[in-house]
Every structure is written in C-alpha cells, then in structure tokens.
Amino acid sequence: MKKYPFLLFLFISYSITSFAQRPAQGPLSKQVFNPLKNGYQLVWEDEFLGNQLDNTKWAVRGVGRRAIAYVSAEAVKVENGLLKLSALKRGDSILISAVGTQGLFMPKYGFYECRAQLQHSPGVWGAFWLQSPKLSEGDDPRIHGAEVDIMEFFKKLGLDIVSHNVHWGPYGSGQHTTHGMQSYLKGVSKGFHTFGLEWTAEKYIFYVDGLKFYEVSAGVSQIEEYLILSMEIPNNLEEIKKTVFPDEFIVDYVRVYQKK
C-alpha cells in the first residue's frame, strides 16, 4: 500500500478535534472494480432526467430543523440530467437538502454507487449513505441495521480526502462506530467521481473511482436499508465561517446492483 507521510501529520493535527478519523490512506489495489464482471446485475438506477425529482424513487426527507439549518425542498433541484442538493441562505435562515428512498426502495446487500461532484466550501458537506429504519431500536446490527456512510466530504480534512464510516446502535454517546475511514485520492474534490459500497452478509468494502480503499467486517447490517443523498451542516456557526453560499453537491446518477 502506498504511504502518504504528510497525511499522517494531517491526521494528528485533526485528532485533537471530534472527527475521530483514521489516518488517510491510498487505495488497497490498483484494480478497478466492475460489478457487472463480478456477478452483479443492475436492479435500480436514477439518472435524474427531466426537471423534477422522481417521486417513485425519492422523497425529500427530514423537512424542518436540522442542526443550525432547515431541510427544505427549495434546496433540491433536478436539471440537465443532474440532481443538485444545495446549501443556501434565505434571509437569516440557511436551507439544506436531503432525499431518500425510504418506503420506496429498500434493498439488502449489493453494490451501491453514485457519480457526483463534491461541494466547494468547508463547513457544509455532501454525503451518500444507507440508513436503517430500526437503528433506534437496539444495537445488534444484524437485527437493527446500521448507518453506512458510503461517502462524506469534509473539506477541512483535505482537498483530496473523502471519508467513510459505519454506525450502529441508537444515536448518542454509546453508539458504536468504526470511526472515520479516510481515503486519499488526488483530485477527488474536482470534477465528477464515483463513490461505491459493496455490502455483503460478511463485510463492507468502500470504493472511490472503482478503487478499493477499505474493507471492514464490523457493524454489518442484515436487514433492508434505504439510500440517502444529502447536503449536511454542522451544529455551530463557527464551523461555517468560511462557507460560501450557495453551494451544491451535484449527483449525476445512482445505481444499485445485486447478485444474479
């Protein structure tokens, strides 16, 4: 595995904060993963054609207060074959965005991928994740599932780093976590890139541009889960001092593959 010494320093600098991130690392392999060549077939996709969100596939989720902002349908747009999830200001309020497939499409296992362009600013962050409808009911991931953060982009960690994580058990100080896994890929903050997860009964494998970065066997959900795309915001104003509004997390497509 290729080493990135300066990234170790970056991690140490941030470890005094609450990120609980692991040191960044490069890909574990140079081989690009192709689901179609590994026994998978496409079972669901959205290429965001037309001029509005396909409500047979997605719904704006969590409308209302979230952290220091408000989730609003106004911050969700579909145009020119792209889903645009914004963080924007309306008067004294900040609007953010989230869409999910809860109650519409809730698979178990498979390969999940989105092609997206990450936000430009620090403070706010784009995310692609899976969520369990039973997370608050207990801490056995086999029964109650897990939150699987396929990709989050915290720009303050570095321009070329995306994070992944797995959480299980009810939210709070006792929740279990793998802690943030950081993937280093030069240029990932510019242009469009793919972010993927292979989820089996035994493990999760995290990919960026088809390259494998992490493989973990902790917190593996064995129940159906739903997909979420969101533009997130922290809990305090201090962290968005350098955020330039409006900002966007732009998604070209989402695809889900399962074994034949």
**Residues in the chain with pLDDT values less than 70:** 1-20
Cα(118)–Cα(189) distance, integer angstroms: 6
Residue extents of the structural domains in the chain: 29-259
pLDDT at 21: 80
Q: Tens digit of pLDDT for each residue in 147-202? A: 999 999 999 999 999 999 999 999 998 999 999 999 999 999 999 999 999 999 99
pLDDT at 22: 85
pLDDT at 15: 33
In CATH, which of 2.60.40.1730, 2.60.40.420, 3.30.428.10, 2.60.120.200 is domain 29-259?
Answer: 2.60.120.200
Cα(214)–Cα(205) distance, integer angstroms: 6
Cα(67)–Cα(181) distance, integer angstroms: 23
pLDDT at 260: 87
At residue 180, what is the residue type?
Answer: G
pLDDT at 16: 28
Pairing outcome for strands 161-168 and 82-90: unpaired
CB atoms within 10 A of CB 32: 13
Round the average pLDDT of the chain to a whole number and report it: 93
User: The tokens of 232 are what?
Assistant: 């997130």
**Residue appearing with tokens 């992944």:** 164
pLDDT at 112: 99
pLDDT at 156: 94
The b/e string for 73-82 (b: 16+ C-beta within 10 A; e otherwise) is eebbbbeeeb
Cα(16)–Cα(72) distance, integer angstroms: 34
pLDDT at 10: 32
